Amino acid sequence: MSTPTPYVYTFAEGGRDMAGLLGGKGAGLAEMTRLGLPVPPGFTVTTEACRTYLETGQEPPGLGAAVASALADLERAMGRRLGRADDPLLVSVRSGARFSMPGMMETILDIGLNDDSVVGLAKASGQERFARDSYRRLLQMFGRTVMGVDGALFEQAIAAHTAARGATDDHALGAGEMAALVEEFKAVIRRETGEDFPQDPFEQLYRAIRAVFASWNSERARVYRRREHIPDDLGTAVNIQAMVFGNLGPDSGTGVAFTRDPATGESGVYGDYLPDAQGEDVVAGVRNAVPLTELRHLAPRVYDELGDRLRTLEGHYRDLCDVEFTVERGRLWILQTRVGKRTAEAAFRIAHELRASGTIDADEALARVDGDELTRLMFPRFATRTTDVPVAHGVPASPGAAVGVVVFDSEAAGRRAAAGQHTVLVRRETTPDDLPGMIAAQAVLTSRGGKTSHAAVVARGMGKVCVCGAEDLVVDTAARQFTTPAGVEVHEGDTVSVDGTAGNVYLGAVPLTASEVSGCLETGEATGPLTRAVLSALAHADSVRRLEVRANADTPEDAARARRLGAQGIGLCRTEHMFLGDRRALVEAMILARDDTAREEALAALLPLQREDFTGILAAMDGLPVTIRLLDPPLHEFLPDRVDLAVRLASAAHPDPHDRELLAAVERMHEENPMLGLRGVRLGLAVPGLVAMQVRAIAEAVVHRLREGGRPRAEIMIPLVGTVEELRLARTETEQVLAEVAAGTGTTLDCPVGTMIELPRAALTAGRIAQLADFFSFGTNDLTQTTWGLSRDDAEASFFPLYLEKGVFAASPFETLDQEGVGRLVEIAVEAGRAVHPRLETGVCGEHGGDPASIHFFHRAGLDYVSCSPFRLPAARLEAGRAALTGVTGSDSA
Ligand code: PEP
Ligand code: MG
């Protein structure tokens, strides 16, 4: 065959490792050719040629000659000439990029047909109708793709003929009608473009190649790439291949086959077959395909050969493969293969089974699954029917499916939950006030906020379903109803179904299927092939990972669940949730205290309650570290809403003096930017006695647990430190209290005191801070906000969608760590901290601790652990394991 040139490779010259240059399809065709599989011969024009074309608007010099030479070789191999009048060679021209972009770019079949060669094709095939049909297909595809004619004009002409026949598809049309269509199509092309369809087969070929190049930049291809994060500058390869025909009668056909079931991973032969048809008929869904197993009866020899070929491919690629094939008069041809896409369930099962059969090793099996897939498997799923139409759509913030009656506040959620009802809490947005309702409800639905809004973060933490930012919903909590974009009013007590995986809301109860994976992760016991596969992947991840995995949890129940899910401690126990509910009165008393005595009384009343909280958590995590963060949010978050209070006072016949006092306090404490205000360590320093009370509660809980024979390992964490001076003050007070409790109880207390690094200044001065910190925990939520200068609750709801669409962000920096900016600060701080304290313990407790890509970054940055909500633990363990694999890539791409 031809000498290789930089721009053209025959199938015999390429191979699977050349996907960058030949595209996935070209590399797969070459690999199959090498394996001796029945692939119609052909050649590939490289992505590099495409890139030159896109940059300069011209083919690179020498491409024409290289194509001509490869074509001459192809003609010799086939014993036919392109477009020759007697027995013509026809070729297909197909796009094929590095990454699969199904249906996004162009394909043109039957290149080489013209008014003369169509006669030759009819003669050679003995089928007049087939030849005319092929010609009209070429006119249609070429007209639309290359010459820019509106495809609907061709469709209409076909529809008119089929309707005249009283038929439903073009199969009913005979040779005469096909010939008539050919003439009509030629006329359409002439009318629409002022140009005749080119009769010269070489002109057809070159123009088709150019059209495929250009289709890389079509609007739909660009949109697809943006969504799939495929770089815009890769370009597509073009595959030119001898045509084989599946539409030559009942002993021909076309189909798609998988080496395993891509839905479940079960091994066997799966797919669809369409007798007497060409590939694009399957895609277009003109007629219904039959299950591939039918081929066993239609053509047993072909079926057996296909089975053999599939086994060869799976053995070679060591993975699920899918192929497109054509049967031409009883002869099997394979037109494409690739490592097949699969569901999350199939991914785990296939990886496990290939490992069990010794085809791949444990590392590779682990590399072939990921945390997002595992997360998807952990939720109950809706068994949606095609007739279920969502009434609203929002941000899929916390996956899973839940059915419940609509409630608009915590009180209703609690009341209905107590009566055994499942509920969906609907709010414009949520605040810490809504916490009891979120706990009671099965799902949360909001009309404002993005994936890291309060609703989203808290719901994910609890493993509750959440759809947020459903902006078309008008939520009227006062009237206890919401209105859908279609004007449907949904009232408290009406049933809705919320799909947190897709972001959809349905009226009524959509049936649910439970997740078997979720249960097995807590018990550690497999119940079937899928759970066996999941547990085996996790066990291997645990054995190879360097990063520890801790949980963000602040109740004994969450801590216990986290432990069952594999947590090696608590990386963040937020104490603010312990100041809500009945305790709010005590917090109010502390805030309103007129003098030290009143404040001390309020704090003294809070102390035993906090001690109990910590005792429970330390018991649940006995023997493992529990990082307790001192109070972080601004105090006014614990007071009633300013407007509500003002309205209550204004409308009361006899205003409550307590309300007046509260309103004054709320106004006094009002801040324009509370996120940048009196919170974190600043609060601890400003409110006398607060740090001491919390530290005493922790210390006494530790003593209590020690006396019970436990092994409590509390660590005290100071939030939002910006300078070492703040830490010095907070630490001094902390150590004083620890010493007092130790002395008073005759115990030795070993409680490390560390800090969160969640301000750029803290990261940049980490060397100094490390002198007083026993550990660093990166609060990447605040660190992202303060590095970017954005408030996540506001920004996510307002301009984030625009930024994502315009490509300013590839992903929200609140979901996936901005490695270049925020990540750089993390690296700087780790390095500076360790320079002072080589064994300084470092972890991350922001939302990014549960995000797969971020976990890989934290591994590389040398952190000791990631901490995330209990629900995300299994995925975090899996990803920490995958991050530790070196030199193993995931799925091979054919
Ligand atoms: C953080 O800022 O990353 C963090 C964990 O703290 P919070 O989200 O509670 O502010
Ligand atoms: Mg924070």
Q: Which residue, 866, 827, 864, is CA-closest to 847?
A: 866
Cα of 794 from ligand 2 centre, angstroms: 16
The pLDDT of residue 279 is above 80: no
Count the Cβ atoms, other than its own, within 10 Å of residue 595: 8
More confident residue, 489 or 794: 489
Write the DSSP assignment of 469-490 as a string of letters. Answer: --TT-EEETTTTEEE-TT--EE
Helix residue spans in 87-170 (DSSP H): 117-125, 128-145, 151-165
739 Cβ contact list (under 8 Å, min separation 6): none
850 alpha carbon, closest ligand: 1
Ligand 1 atom showing the smallest separation from residue 782 Cα: 2
CATH match for 253-339 among 3.30.470.20, 3.40.1500.10, 3.40.1080.10, 3.40.47.10: 3.30.470.20
CB-based contact 744:703 (threshold 8 Å) = no
Q: Residue 437 Cα, ligand 2 centroid: separation in angstroms?
A: 23
- b vs e for 45-70, b when ≥16 Cβ sit within 10 Å of the residue's Cβ? bbbebbbbbbeeeebbeebeebbebb
Please list, in sequence order, all residues whose beta carbon lies within 8 angstroms of the beta carbon of residue 872, skipping any fewer than 6 positions away: 375, 460, 849, 850
Question: Residues with Cβ within 5 Å of ion ligand 2?
Answer: 758, 779, 782
Give the pLDDT of residue 892. 39
pLDDT tens, residue by residue, 117-137:
999 999 999 999 999 999 999
Probe residue for ligand 1, chosen from 572, 790, 848, 869 as the CB with the greatest number of ligand atoms within 8 Å: 572
CA dihedral in degrees (257, 262, 264, 266; nearest 10)?
A: 40
Sign of torsion over alpha carbons 453, 459, 460, 466? negative
Bridge partners for 256 per DSSP: 272, 324
Look at residue 201 in the predicted model and tell me its pLDDT. Answer: 96
Distance from C-alpha of 792 to C-alpha of 468, rounded to nearest angstrom: 14
Selection from 777, 296, 347, 279 nearest residue 574 by Cα? 777
pLDDT at 891 over 50: no
Ligand 2 centroid to Cα of residue 780, in Å, is 7
3-class DSSP state of 267: strand
* Pocket (CB within 6 angstroms of ligand 1): 572, 574, 632, 758, 779-782, 845-846
Q: Which one of 552, 782, 783, 842 would you pick to mutate in the ligand 1 pocket, going by the greatest count of ligand atoms within 8 A of its CB? A: 782
Higher per-residue confidence, 376 vs 190 = 190
> Do 368 and 891 contact (CB within 8 A), yes or no?
yes
CA of 757 to the centre of ligand 1 (A): 10
**Residue 312: other Cβ atoms inside 10 A:** 16
Contact assessment for residue 200 and residue 88, using Cβ atoms and an 8 Å cutoff: no
Check residue 290 and give its pLDDT: 83
Amino acid at 467: V
Residues 402 and 465: beta-carbon distance below 8 Å: yes
d(CA 159, CA 163): 6
**How many Å lie between the centroid of ligand 1 and the Cα of residue 628?**
13
Q: Strands 570-574 and 548-552: what pairing?
A: parallel
Report the separation in Å between the CA atom of 754 and the middle of ligand 1, taken as the mean of its atom positions.
Answer: 15
Domain with CATH 3.30.1490.20 in the chain: 8-242
Taking the CA of 868 as reference, the closest ligand is 1
pLDDT of residue 2: 47
Q: Which atom of ligand 1 is nearest to the CA of 720?
A: 2
- What is the Å distance from ligand 2's center to 279 Cα? 55
Sign of CA dihedral 781, 784, 785, 790: negative
Given a contact cutoff of 8 angstroms between Cβ atoms, the answer to whether 254 and 327 are in contact is yes
What atom of ligand 1 comes closest to residue 779's alpha carbon?
3
Q: Are 365 and 540 in contact (CB under 8 A)?
A: yes
Question: Tokens 């839940």, residue?
Answer: 402
pLDDT at residue 384, as a whole number? 67
Taking CA atoms only, the protein residue closest to ligand 1 atom 1 is 779
* Residue closest to 606 by CA, chosen among 639, 629, 627, 578: 578
Q: Whose CA is nearest to atom 9 of ligand 1?
A: 574
Using the mean position of ligand 2's atoms as its centre, give its distance from the Cα of residue 377 in Å: 30
Q: Give residues with Cβ within 8 angstroms of 47, minimum separation 6.
A: 20, 21, 22, 23, 97, 98, 234, 235, 236, 237
CATH homologous superfamily of 379-513 equals Phosphohistidine domain (3.50.30.10)
Closest ligand 1 atom, residue 778 Cα:
3
For residue 574, the ligand 1 atom closest to its alpha carbon is: 9
For residue 845, indicate whether it is catalytic. Answer: yes
In sequence order, the β-bridge partners of residue 328 are: 331
Which one is predicted more confidently, 397 or 115? 115
Among candidate residues 550, 628, 459, the one with its CA nearest the CA of residue 844: 550
- The whole-number average pLDDT for the span 45-49 is 96
Whole-number Cα distances in Å, 638 to 665, 670, 688, 693: 11, 12, 17, 17
What is the Å distance from ligand 1's center to 665 Cα? 26
CA–centroid distance, 362 to ligand 2, in Å, is 38
* pLDDT per residue as tens digits for the range 210-261: 999 999 998 878 877 876 778 899 999 999 999 999 988 899 999 989 999 8
Cα 867 to ligand 2 centre (Å): 13
At residue 894, the pLDDT reads 34
- The catalytic position among 50, 468, 845, 868 is 845
User: Which ligand is in closest contact with the Cα of 779?
Assistant: 1
Checking if the pLDDT of 306 tops 80, the result is yes
Element (H, E) at 95: strand 91-97
| 47-56 and 201-215 helices, crossing angle to 10° | 80
CA dist 582 to 567, 579, 599, 603, Å? 30, 8, 18, 14
Write down the pLDDT at residue 287: 62
Residue nearest to atom 4 of ligand 1 (CA): 779
Give pLDDT tens digits for 577-600: 888 888 888 988 988 888 999 999
Could you give the residue ranges of the DSSP H alpha helices within 419-555? 435-440, 454-462, 516-523, 529-544
- pLDDT recorded at residue 220: 79
Tokens, residue 133:
């049909």
pLDDT band at 512 (very low <50, low <70, confident <90, very high): confident
Residues 493/421, Cβ–Cβ less than 8 Å: no
DSSP string over 2-53? PPP-SSEEETTT--GGGHHHHHHHHHHHHHHHHTT-----EEEE-HHHHHHH
Pick the ligand that lies closest to the CA of residue 571: 1
Nearest residue CA, atom 6 of ligand 1? 779
Q: Can you give the pLDDT at residue 156?
A: 93
Burial of 253 (0-12, 13-18, 19+ CB in 10 A): buried
Residues of the chain with CATH 3.20.20.60: 545-634+671-893
For helices 151-165 and 175-193, the axis angle rounded to 10 degrees is 150
Identify the residue whose tokens are 């290149």.
Answer: 111
Active-site entry in 352, 454, 540, 704: 454
Pick from 168-177, 331-340, 707-716 the range whose average pLDDT is largest.
707-716
CA of 719 to the centre of ligand 1 (A): 9
The pLDDT value given to residue 345: 87
Tokens of 104: 């996004």
Give the largest Cα separation in the chain, rounded: 107
Q: Is residue 192 predicted with pLDDT exceeding 60?
A: yes
Quick: pLDDT tens for 10-37: 999 999 999 999 999 999 999 999 999 9
Indicate the CATH number for domain 545-634+671-893. Answer: 3.20.20.60
Contact 622, 705 (CB under 8 A): yes
Which residue puts its alpha carbon closest to atom 8 of ligand 1? 781
Residue 288 is predicted with a pLDDT of 66
β-strands 253-260, 290-291: how paired? unpaired
- Sequence-ordered list of residues with C-beta below 8 angstroms from that of 328, at least 6 positions apart, any chain: 244, 245, 246, 248, 252
Q: Which atom of ligand 1 is nearest to the CA of 576?
A: 9
CA angle 812, 814, 819 (to 5 degrees): 80
For a substitution probing ligand 1, which of 825, 845, 851 has the most ligand atoms within 8 Å of its CB?
845
pLDDT at residue 25 in the model: 94
| Helix or strand run (H / E) with residue 110 | strand 107-111
pLDDT at 707 over 90: yes
Question: Looking up tokens 């370009």, which residue turns up?
Answer: 235
Centre of ligand 1 to C-alpha 633, Å, is: 10
Instruction: Count the Cβ atoms, other than its own, within 10 Å of residue 12.
Output: 17
Lowest mean pLDDT of 93-102, 309-318, 518-527, 682-691, name the range: 93-102
Probe ligand 1: pick from 632, 787, 818, max atoms within 8 Å of CB?
632
Closest CA relative to residue 295, chosen from 257, 333, 322: 257
Per-residue pLDDT reduced to its tens digit, 672-695: 898 999 999 999 999 999 999 999
783 CA: nearest ligand 1 atom: 2
- Give the mutation target among 552, 758, 796, 854 for probing the ligand 1 site: most ligand atoms within 8 A of CB: 758
User: Distance between CA 440 and CA 414 in Å, rounded?
Assistant: 6
Are 461 and 480 contacting, i.e. CB atoms less than 8 angstroms apart? no
Q: Of 756, 786, 854, which is best to mutate to test ligand 1, by the most ligand atoms within 8 angstroms of its C-beta?
A: 756
Q: How far, in Å, CA of 498 to CA of 873, rounded?
A: 23
> Is-catalytic flag, 229?
no
User: Does residue 870 register a pLDDT over 60?
Assistant: yes
CA angle 397, 399, 403 (to 5 degrees): 105
Instruction: Out of 110-114, 216-220, 386-390, 820-824, pick the least confident.
Output: 386-390
List every span in the chain annotated with CATH 3.50.30.10. Answer: 379-513
Say how far apart CA 398 and CA 294 lie, in whole Å: 42
What is the pTM (predicted TM-score) of this model?
A: 0.81
Position 241, amino acid = Q
What one-character-per-residue DSSP string does 381-411 give? Answer: EE---TT---SEE-EEEE-SEEEEEEE-SHH
- Nearest residue (by CA) to ligand 1, atom 10, is 782
Indicate the helix (H) or strand (E) that contains 822: helix 822-836
d(CA 730, CA 507): 52
Q: What is the 3-state secondary structure (H, E, C) of 55-89?
A: HHCCCCCCHHHHHHHHHHHHHHHHCCEECCCCCEE
- Using alpha carbons, select from 275, 277, 257 the residue that is nearest to residue 267: 257
Do the bridges between strand 713-718 and strand 42-45 make them parallel or antiparallel, or are there none, so unpaired? unpaired
Q: Which atom of ligand 1 is nearest to the CA of 847?
A: 3
CATH numeric code, 8-242:
3.30.1490.20
- Atom nearest to 572 CA in ligand 1: 5
Question: Please, what is the Cα angle at 878 between 461 and 314, to 5 degrees?
Answer: 135
* Residue 360 one-letter amino acid: I
